[in-house]
Structures are given as C-alpha cells and as structure tokens.
Amino acid sequence: MSTSQKPVLDVRDLNISYSQGDERPTVVHGVSFTVEPGEVVALVGESGSGKTSTAQAVIGLLAENGRVESGSILLNGEDISRWSARRLRSIRGAVVSLVPQDPGSSLNPVLTIGAQVREILEIHGRLDRREADRKVIELLANVGLSQPELRIRQYPHELSGGMKQRVLIAIAIALRPALIIADEPTSALDVTVQRRILDLIDDLRREHGTSVLLVTHDLGVAADRSDRIIVLQGGRIQEQGRTVDVLASPQSAYTRKLLSDAPSLAAAKPRPPVEPGRPAALTISNLVQDFSLPTAKNFRAVDNISFSVARGTTHAVVGESGSGKTTTIRSIAGFQKPTSGEIRIGDLDVASLRSEALRQFRRKVQLVYQNPWASLDPRQTVQAIVEEPLLNFDPLPRAEREARVRAIIERVGLPATVLSRLPHALSGGQRQRVAIARALVLEPEVVVLDEAVSALDVTVQAQILDLLAELQRDLGLTYVFVSHDLAVVRQIADTVSVLHNGRQVDYGTVEDVFSSASTAYTRELIDAIPGQKFPRAELSRQP
C-alpha cells in the first residue's frame, strides 16, 4: 500500500464539549492518538471516560448537543473536523464505517435486511438494482450468514442478535473502508457469539487490510484483539502503548486498577472449599417449567434441573440468553408454579404455598436485579425504597424501622446522607448497593442475584463483588448468582450449574467444572471468556 507510512487516523489534541442547559462542560480533553493501516487500536475506559464521544467525533456522529471544540481529526491525511455535513456524508460508510453497540436496536425494524445492506451501496455507488442485489448476497455470505438469499427478504426481528450483528458488519465492510469504528460491538451479545463476531471482524480486517478502532469497556476483549491500547479516564488519556506492554507493565495507577478489577484478567483466587455437612438452604429437584404457546405445543423453558445450595455458600446459574436462567429463578422466588419437580427453601416446599403463606414466604427469598437504573422507583427516596419491605412484612414502630434502614444502609457501605436522596442522584454502584440493602433488610434466607453486576463498570463491579463476599462472610447469606459471565462466576461462586436450552449440562464445584467440564458446550463457554491470550502470570497486581 502506498499510504503505508501515513496513519489512517491521526487525532491531535481533540477537545469535545456538550451543552447542558447554560453550561458547556468539556468531556474529552486533549486526546491524541493514531491508527496505522491494518492496525487494531482499542479505546478502553469506563462509562464517562469519553471513549464513545471520541469515536463518534471521528465518524462525525456526535450527538446534537456535542461539539468538537478544538483539535484535528486527520483521516488519510485530511482534517475532517471542520468539514461540512455534506462533505462528511461522502466519506461516511465509504472511508470510515461503524459497527454499533446494540445489534437489537441498530437495524430499522420496518425495512428488510436486503434493503438495509443495499442502502449503503445506493448512497455511494452507481450499481444497478440487480448488481446491487448480487453484491448484497455476496456480502451476507462473506460475514458467515447462512442462506443469504433468504435473509435479504427477512426483517430484523426474524434474526438472532448474533445474526443482526453480522448484517451490521456486512454493512460496515461493504465499501471496504479504510477504518472501521467498532463501538462495543459485542457487549450486548452472549459470550460464545461474542467470540465468533470478534473472530469475524479479525478475519475480515486481515483479508481487507482495514484498520479498526475498537471501543470497549472490556479489557479482556481489548487484550485479545488489539495491537495497541489507549486507556481513557474522565476524558483524558491515562496511558497508551502496545497491548502487550500496557498489560504486562502498566504505567498509570488507573490502568493497574482496571487490570486488577477485571475478572477475566485477574488470576483466579480459589475460594476456600466449603466444609461438608452444611445444611442445604435451597434444594431444587427435577424442576420442569412449561409455557403454553398460542400456536404450537407447550414450550419447555426448563427441563429437569436439580441442584442444592448449602447455607452460606454461592451457587452460580450460568447460561446464554434463552438457556432458562431467568425461568429458574422466577420459580425459586415463587412467581410461578413449577410444571413438575420440587423447590425447597430450608424445609419449606415452595409449590405447596398459597396466598398469604406464599406472600410470607417471599421474605425468605429476595432478589437483586441487573439494572439498578430500572429496579428502583425514581420517585421514592432511598429511605422509602429500603423501608418498603419492612412495611409489608414487619409492623415495627417508626423509630425502630428507621434504625433498621440506617443500619443496613451503613452495612452496604453507603453514608446515611443518601437516605433522603432520590435514585437519580446516585451513581450506578450506589444504586446497586441500595438494591442490595432493600433485599437484605428482611434478613432473607436466600438472595437471588440476577446478573446483579453485569451492568456495572469493572471497578464498580469489583467493589460490589467484594461487598457481596463480605456480607456473605459476616451474615452467613446464601446466594444464587445468575450470570452469563464465567469470569465473574469463577471469582464469586462455590458451585455452578451450566444451563443450555433449558437443560443442565454441567453441575459441580466451580473448580471441577472449570478444570474438567463434562460437556463440549461448557468447554466452549469457558474458552470464549475474553482475555485468555494474555499471560496471566505476568500481570502486576496492586498490592
């Protein structure tokens, strides 16, 4: 290539601000970096680090209230940061293209797949309809979609998440751009699908010699897939360098913290084995859960699952979407009657409970949900949120109730000043602490954690995982930990069930399952954990 000496992308001293009411805070401060031809550069950071704003500026897609204040963005040597909208349109898709974050909402629901892939050819090309159709089918085949002739007539809702992301990749590579911006391209996908999609991007990149700017919060993904890493925090570059160098000997304290908090990169610290003879807090035997469908025969969401969780231990339920995880925990919480099988909490048979007894039972099993933004009522103060379960179950005098709420809020590591605040005034980690406090205020026997740390940044995630471990140690809590993230599971659980299409394909202690998984599926799940290319032994951990 003749441009081999010139970087594809050269960002110099970039400053980006957003207007918020009368103010105009700067969110990206003096960011400079380059992307060489054929290179994969990872922009790594937590939410609010400015990684997405930086990437959006490169393709000219900043939100309406965002603005490039100063600095330059050189694409193939030309500064595009001051280009008009019309001029920018001519390079979008053709020279620089985008693989978006959430394939589920990134395709127009009312247009066919074929029309949406063809659109990029229509905008930039002069292909006639028949040629364009042939090219679309070729592209879809290229990204590994089966039956491309069928796909072009299908609508997005008829495709799975992984297939939709393949379609979006087909759009991104259609015109062989010099640079692809992949904005968290796999964070909404299951781990095995994630691996296949990242492999695909890798293959296509090698084939076409395209450069990739990979925006990700997942250090494991960055470690596996990038040549160079740029670590952003609060809109400033903390560190950049060759991936191997940054991971082996991080220069900034922040990078070191990120590395030690990332479950996929941290060395597994084995949990002390559970001494035998503990009584079971929760026993599930041969659980089957059918759902009736209006058209077909019954759908079996959970098929013959059995496990038992000793008091004071953590059992992880692992699986990809549609594996029956959620159905299983809904049955444990008594939200639905099992089609067959038995669920026992202590020595109580959940299925036998009716009305008031079932209501009283609910205090024994409490849930913490994935999304701390959606699971707290935005109009209730933290005080009201945490005391509501007490009002429902324990008629305590006001002073004592407030004391209990105050105690549990302190227990989860929040200052008492949050009690009078509304959820929107709290950070994601603080909100999840409130949700944990709400679950613990009734002193439940079993706490079900439904992807409770999946929506959090890694450093916050590490803090919440520490809190959960500490609470378990001090209060003897029993956890059922539902997760798609095997790296987290290895860190927090004692025993694990692996679910696949409603069946339990593996069950045992975490150590046994990780070291000698009995099925190919579990093996595949474990192998798909990102960050494995990285030599763990060399990792310098914080003291």
Partner 1 sequence: MTRYVIGRIGQALLVLWAAFTLSFILLQAMPGDAVLIKFLNPEFGLSADQVAEIRAAYAVDSSVVVQYGHTLVNFLQGDFGYSLQAGVPVSAQLATNLPPTLKLAGLGFLAATLLAVFIAFLSSMAPFAWLRNAIQSLPSLFISVPVFWLAIMLIQIFSFRFRLVSVINPGPWESLVLPVATLAVPIAAPLAQILIRNIDEIRTRPFVAVARAKGASETRLLWRHVARNAILPTLTIAGVLFGELIAGAVVTETVFGLNGIGGLTEKAVGNQDLSVLQAVVVISAAAFVTINLAVDLAYPLLDPRLRTGQGAAA
Task: Please state the closest distance from residue 181 (CB atom) to partner 1, in A.
Answer: 8
CA 516/CA 66 separation, integer angstroms:
51
Residue 105 as a binder of partner 1 (CB under 8 A): the answer is yes
Which structure tokens are listed for 338?
Answer: 């099992």
* Contact pick of 5, 295, 417, 542 for partner 1 (by CB under 8 A): 295
Residue 168 as a binder of partner 1 (CB under 8 A): the answer is yes
Residue 106 as a binder of partner 1 (CB under 8 A): the answer is yes
Residue 152 as a binder of partner 1 (CB under 8 A): the answer is no
Residue 335 as a binder of partner 1 (CB under 8 A): the answer is no
For the chain, counts of helices (H) and of strands (E):
19, 20
What Rg do the C-alpha atoms of the chain give, in angstroms? Answer: 25
Residue 119 as a binder of partner 1 (CB under 8 A): the answer is yes
Task: Please state the closest distance from residue 377 (CB atom) to partner 1, in A.
Answer: 23
Residue 120 as a binder of partner 1 (CB under 8 A): the answer is yes
Using CA atoms, how far residue 412 sits from 250, 365, 390, 439, 473, in Å, is 31, 18, 17, 11, 13
* Contact pick of 13, 69, 111, 466 for partner 1 (by CB under 8 A): 111
Residue 81 as a binder of partner 1 (CB under 8 A): the answer is no
Task: Please state the closest distance from residue 483 (CB atom) to partner 1, in A.
Answer: 19
Q: Which residues contact 262 (CB under 8 A, 6 or more apart)?
A: 218, 219, 220, 458, 531
From 31, 52, 163, select the one nearest 107 (Cα to Cα).
163
From 472, 101, 173, select the one nearest 315 (Cα to Cα).
472
Task: Please state the closest distance from residue 89 (CB atom) to partner 1, in A.
Answer: 5
- Site stretch for partner 1 (CB under 8 A), options 154-162, 219-227, 361-369, 418-426: 154-162
From 318, 331, 322, select the one nearest 301 (Cα to Cα).
322
Alpha helix (H) ranges present in 441-485?
A: 458-475
CA 483/CA 453 separation, integer angstroms:
9
The interface mask with partner 1, positions 387-426, x = CB under 8 A, is ----------------------------------------
- Site stretch for partner 1 (CB under 8 A), options 150-158, 198-206, 384-392, 479-487: 150-158
DSSP-derived 3-state class of residue 141: helix
Q: Which residue has the tokens 């299925």?
A: 351
CA 463/CA 431 separation, integer angstroms:
13
From 217, 262, 260, 256, select the one nearest 49 (Cα to Cα).
217
Which structure tokens are listed for 180?
Answer: 């692809």
Residue 94 as a binder of partner 1 (CB under 8 A): the answer is yes
State the sign of the Cα–Cα–Cα–Cα dihedral 324, 327, 333, 337. Answer: negative
Residue 189 as a binder of partner 1 (CB under 8 A): the answer is no
- Site stretch for partner 1 (CB under 8 A), options 8-16, 74-82, 292-300, 479-487: 292-300
Residue 301 as a binder of partner 1 (CB under 8 A): the answer is yes
Name the residue nearer to partner 1 (CB basis): 21 or 294: 294
Name the residue nearer to partner 1 (CB basis): 269 or 297: 297
Residue 503 as a binder of partner 1 (CB under 8 A): the answer is no
Residue 61 as a binder of partner 1 (CB under 8 A): the answer is yes
Using CA atoms, how far residue 60 sits from 70, 83, 85, 90, 410, in Å, is 14, 9, 8, 12, 46
Q: Which positions lie near partner 1, rule CB under 8 A? A: 59, 61, 85, 89-94, 97-98, 100-102, 105-111, 119-120, 123-124, 155, 157-158, 168, 171, 291, 293-295, 299, 301, 322, 327
